[in-house]
Structure 1
Amino acid sequence: MNAHLKTLAEEALKLRPDEREALVQVLIASVSEEDGVEAAWATEIERRAAELECGAVQAIPLTDALDQIRSRLK
C-alpha cells in the first residue's frame, strides 16, 4: 500500500460507521461504473423481466431451483 493510500485509509477509519458505509458505496459504484458492470446487469435484468412478462420463461419456486442445482452437483 503506498503512502497516499495508507493516509486515506487511516482517515477513512476515523469516520463514523455510517459514514464509512456511505464511502464504501461511493467507491464501489465508481468501480462498477468504470467497468460497465452495472449497465450490463441492468440490461440482463430487463431481458429476464421481459421474458417473464411475455411468457417465454416461467418462474419456479426457489426451493425447486435449489433442489435442481443440488441434484446436478451430485
Structure 2
Amino acid sequence: MASVEQIMKEALALPSASRALLAEKLVESLEFDVDETLQMLWTDEAKKRRDEIRSGTVPPISGEEGLARVRQLLE
C-alpha cells in the first residue's frame, strides 16, 4: 500500500482538473454531522437575503467592499 506522502506526490502531479475532481471526491467522502435544523435555518436565511437583493430592498455590494466593512468594524 502506498504511503500518504506517495499518494500526495502523485496527486499533485495530476492536471488541475483531475486534482479538482479528486479533491471534490475526498471532501465528499468525509462524514459530517449535519444538524438538519441548522441547515434549514441557513438555507432560509440565504433565500431571504437573495430575495432582498432581487427585490431591491437591499443593494448588493462586492466581496471586496464587504470584507473592507468587516475589517473596519473589527478595528
Category of TM-score, reference length = shorter chain: 0.5 to 0.7
| Percentage of pairs with the same residue | 19
> What CA distance in whole angstroms lies between the structure 1 residues aligned with 2:38 and 2:45?
11
> What CA distance in whole angstroms lies between the structure 2 residues aligned with 1:18 and 1:37?
23
Unaligned runs of 5+ in 2: 1-22
> What CA distance in whole angstroms lies between the structure 2 residues aligned with 1:60 and 1:18?
29
Q: Which has the higher helix share?
A: 1
Deviations 1:12-67 (A, max 9, x none): xxxxx98764441xx31xx21x4412111111111111111111101111111111
> What CA distance in whole angstroms lies between the structure 1 residues aligned with 2:63 and 2:24?
33
Unaligned runs of 5+ in 1: 1-16
Give 1:38's aligned residue.
Answer: 39
Scaled by the length of structure 1, the TM-score of the pair is: 0.55
Give 2:66's aligned residue.
Answer: 65
Q: What one-letter code is carried by the residue in structure 2 that aligns with 1:54?
A: S
> What CA distance in whole angstroms lies between the structure 1 residues aligned with 2:71 and 2:50?
25
Q: What one-letter code is carried by the residue in structure 2 that aligns with 1:36?
A: T
Q: What one-letter code is carried by the residue in structure 1 that aligns with 2:39?
A: E
